[in-house]
A and B are shown apart, each in its own frame.
Chain A
Amino acid sequence: MLRHTAACFAAGLALASAAPPASAQTLRFGLMEDSDALDPTLARTFASRMIFAALCDKLVDIGPDLKPVPQLATHWELSSDEKALTMHLRPGVTFHDGEPLDAAAAKYSIERHLKMPGSQRRGEIAPIDTVEVVDPLTFTIKLKQPFAPLLAQFTDRAGMMVSPKAAERLGDKFSTSPVCAGPYRFVERVPQDRIVVERFPAYWNKDQIQIQRIEFRPIPDSTVRLTNLRAGQLDLLERLAPTDVPQVSRDAKLKLGTTYELGFQEILFNTGREGSPVADARVRAAFDLAIDRNALNQVVFNGEFLPGNQWVSPKHPNYVKEYPLPKRDVAKAKALLAEAGQPKPQITLTVYANSEAPQVGQVIQAMTKEAGFDVRIQATDFTTALDAADKGNYEAYLYSWSGRPDPDGNTFSFLSCKAPLNYARYCSTEAEAALQAERGSVDAGTRQAAWKRLADRVLTDRPGIYLLHRKLLWAYGPKLTGFVPYPDGLVRFTGLKLN
């Protein structure tokens, strides 16, 4: 018995000494929230996208400059009528279960996104009619009508491929053990505590993957997340609070990664609310003129964000330059209110009860008061605010959108007459025509003209007032190198090293 125990002990020691030191090989990544279901078809949160960046490669990726770059598809062609996209897959790619990633698997994944009950991807790729396998590494996507944002959709979850074998076996429980073709494979998940993935040895680009394991740890409070980084319990954290930037900059051991987001913060107005002052476009214009975006940015966000007035930031290639950032003009705002016959409009502004939104509300309240507005702030939790927006039970709503690589993802769902996110109840035939035009062609000139026509209408009607574009902030410890910030807020693990 004693000999047996000693042998076990010795074997244990040998194993322990042979294994690489966990801390040197494990990247501990602090997330702001826990992920929802780890199924690319069903997932809906930003946190899940963070984890998919390790687990699931996409057909196409975006570069730091927002241009599409090959990932699982090496190249692609669009037919002359823009209704067929042929994609060529990278040879020799396998899923984490060893199954080959071929055209049949790609067809399966895209059809799963389209047909699975509860799929969150269906709306993103709805214009797809059929997917046809051409040869083992080539497939063609036939569209019902031209759809310019399609390639951009494939740079996110709609472009993620899942193993057909695993998806069939697990059904709607796929999220309990996701099998994709990314650089890391799933190990375990303890809800609210950690999600662990490990390096996939057969990954097609394995030479670029240096870190052995990644532990995603949800820590909702940004102060606590930063304290953990400073204590050496984390190597990387996302969504650092802008007010903590000076603290990170002062600390010689910590590094900061920043880039501007693809999304925006805006004040949405319920234009269809009868009897409310916000139903009048002149009142909305006055509200816009009463706001000083630069001051708002300085006061609440330490000047870290980027003031904006459109669905894309002033640095974006599709920004409509004919409509630059407006200057605050209280006198003009007062004149507009007088013209509308509402010199002292009372407006309820719904904001999330987090650490920043109520502050934004208070600054706006103070600024607009000078023009005659009486803004009442209603702070509520995310779900309640969303419910109110859905039911049209609000007047003004401070809303944030995470953004999409193609500007269509920042506009169509909000401004098209029957779109599900049209909380403003806005409908304009000219705006609708412009939206259809930008969707209908991949030609850059045609699309930019459509964006201009959309701006002509929307920035005059103001169903919402675009305020700011957040800066995405990451902080990381001294051991991590090779970190490159991407505007979609996701981390690319290729090239990352832990020294």
Chain B
Amino acid sequence: MLRFLAQRLTLAVPTLVLASMIIFALQQLLPGDTATALSGEERDPEVIAFIRQKYHLDQPLPVRYAYWAGGVLKGDLGESIRLQKPVSELVIEKLPVTLELACLAMLVALALGVPMGILSAVKRGTFADTLANGIALWGLSVPNFWLGILMILLFSVHLGWLPASGYVPPSESLVDNLKAMAMPAFVLGNAIAAVMMRHTRAAMLGVLGSDYVRTARAKGVAPLRLILRHALPNAAIPIITLGALEFGQLLSGAVLTEQIFSVPGFGKLMVDAVFNRDFATVQGVVICTAATYIALNLAADLLSAAVNPKLRRA
């Protein structure tokens, strides 16, 4: 197991370095100059020259990467040129928000997608199956932006139950925090629930048709126990894999949802940074997202290896 862990960790480091190099290089392909973008309406040439010099923008690309990488090794992710704030502070501020939104969205997705998928598989060909499929199709097709605005109109404008936007830290008020996060989490989770439902249905259909389930049924196992105890655990592996992938994607920030509900997470930070060519912020956020993603994958690998000894030898 230790050898397996060492192997995975050895792979994680070059992956991070490569990711940072790719994002650094990709950003240079963006048209537009950071110093010009940040020099204001007046475009004072002296200001442009000052910004170039201060942030090493006048240096060749490898030198700039070396400055950045050197800073990272010392725990310094650089400074946001636009906000004049250390990127590490911005990441520390935004990461909990994005994490919370991702967790709540996953909860919504699991709570809606898995039971609907099971129901759809068990009641295959019935009205319930068609209905569940219809809901899944709706969930996949409906744009986040439209659903978000409709929900705000219903729950905030007409009913006045939930705040239309904003974020309240759970340390301030857990109830207000959950109220603020309810709609964004639902909008995000809704789309994932649809995918979850389709995968759960397919996996359950596969398992329900297998010999051991038929044998269990012949032996008189109660239907609910048959589904939950015998069929679901075997059907769960692709659902868990899918869940891990979707969760990873959520961590990189749900741009549209964050914009609609003004949730100050990674997505909003990243979009603003890209449009303002605030490279240090983009780089910092990407590297943190990549690190979290790699850590999650590592955890998933370790979990799979713990469950399945064959993987440890692979």
- Residues of A participating in the B interface, judged by any CB pair closer than 8 Å: 34, 36-37, 42-45, 117-120, 122-124, 172-173, 175-176, 190-194, 217-221, 223-224, 227-228, 230-233, 380-384, 386-388, 390, 401-402, 413, 420-421
One of B46-54, B127-135, B226-234 at the interface: B46-54
- Report B105 CB to chain A, min CB distance, Å: 19
Bound: A194/B84 CA distance, A: 16
| Chain B residues whose C-beta falls within 8 Å of the C-beta of A380 in the assembled complex | 31
Q: In the complex where A231-B156, A420-B43 touch, is A223 in contact with B149 (Cβ < 8 A)?
A: yes
Q: Binary interface profile of B, 257-277, with partner A (CB < 8 Å = 1, else 0)?
A: 001101010001100100111
The CA of A124 and the CA of B42, in the complex, are separated in Å by 8
* Bound-complex Cα distance A220 to B259 (A): 7
Question: With contacts A120-B44, A221-B260, A390-B43 known, is A233 near B33, CB below 8 A?
Answer: no
Known: A122-B44, A227-B152. A173 touches B84 (CB 8 A): yes
A175-B84, A224-B152 provided; 8 other pairs, C-beta below 8 A? A44-B42, A120-B42, A122-B47, A191-B85, A219-B165, A228-B164, A383-B277, A421-B42
Question: Which residues of the other chain, B, contact A386 by a CB distance below 8 angstroms?
Answer: 32, 36-37
Chain A residue nearest to B51 in the complex (CB)? A118
User: Which of chain B's residues have a CB closer than 8 A to the CB of A120?
Assistant: 39-40, 42, 44, 47
Residues of A within 8 A of B163 (CB): 231, 233
Question: Is B90 on the interface with A (CB-CB < 8 A)?
Answer: yes
Of the residues A37, A233, A387, A401, contact of B84 by C-beta under 8 Å: A37
Q: B175 contacts the other chain (Cβ, under 8 Å)?
A: no
Please give me the 9 A-B residue pairs with the lowest Cβ-Cβ distance, nearest first.
Answer: A44-B40, A231-B156, A383-B32, A193-B264, A231-B164, A387-B32, A420-B43, A383-B37, A384-B31
CB of B166 within 8 Å of the partner chain: yes
Residues of B within 8 Å of A, CB-based: how many?
Answer: 47
B157 at the interface (CB under 8 A from A): yes
B38 CB-CB contact with A under 8 Å? yes
Kindly list chain A residues whose C-beta atoms are within 8 Å of the C-beta of B164.
227-228, 231, 233
Q: Report the minimal beta-carbon distance from A415 to chain B, rounded to whole angstroms.
A: 14
| Residues of the A chain whose Cβ atoms lie less than 8 Å from the Cβ of B166 | 193-194, 217, 233
Shortest CB-to-CB span from B95 to chain A, Å, is 13
A192:B264 contact, CB within 8 angstroms:
yes
Shortest Cβ distance from A33 into B: residue: B272
Question: Of B47, B269, B275, which contacts A118 at CB under 8 A?
Answer: B47
B45 at the interface (CB under 8 A from A): yes
Could you tell me the distance in whole angstroms from the C-beta of B279 to the nearest C-beta in chain A?
12
Min Cβ gap B191→A in Å is 19
> How close is A387's CB to chain B, nearest CB, in angstroms?
4
Q: Taking CB as reference atom, which chain B residue is nearest A215?
A: B166
- A388 — which chain B residues lie within 8 A by C-beta? 31
- Chain A residues with Cβ below 8 Å from B160 are 231-232
Contacts A124-B42, A420-B43 given: A176-B32 contact, CB under 8 Å?
no
User: Which partner residue on chain B sits nearest A193 by CB separation?
Assistant: B264
Contact of A219 among B42, B44, B153, B262 (CB under 8 A): B262
Contact, CB under 8 Å: B84 / A224: no
CB proximity to A under 8 Å, residues B26-68: 30-33, 36-47, 50-51, 54
Across the interface, do B152 and A117 meet the contact criterion of CB distance under 8 Å? no
CB contacts (< 8 Å) of A123 on chain B: these are: 42, 44
For A382, the chain B residues whose CB sits under 8 A away are: 37, 275
Docked-complex contact A118 and B50, CB < 8 angstroms? yes
Q: Quick one: which of A190, A219, A382, A383 has the most chain B CB within 10 A?
A: A383
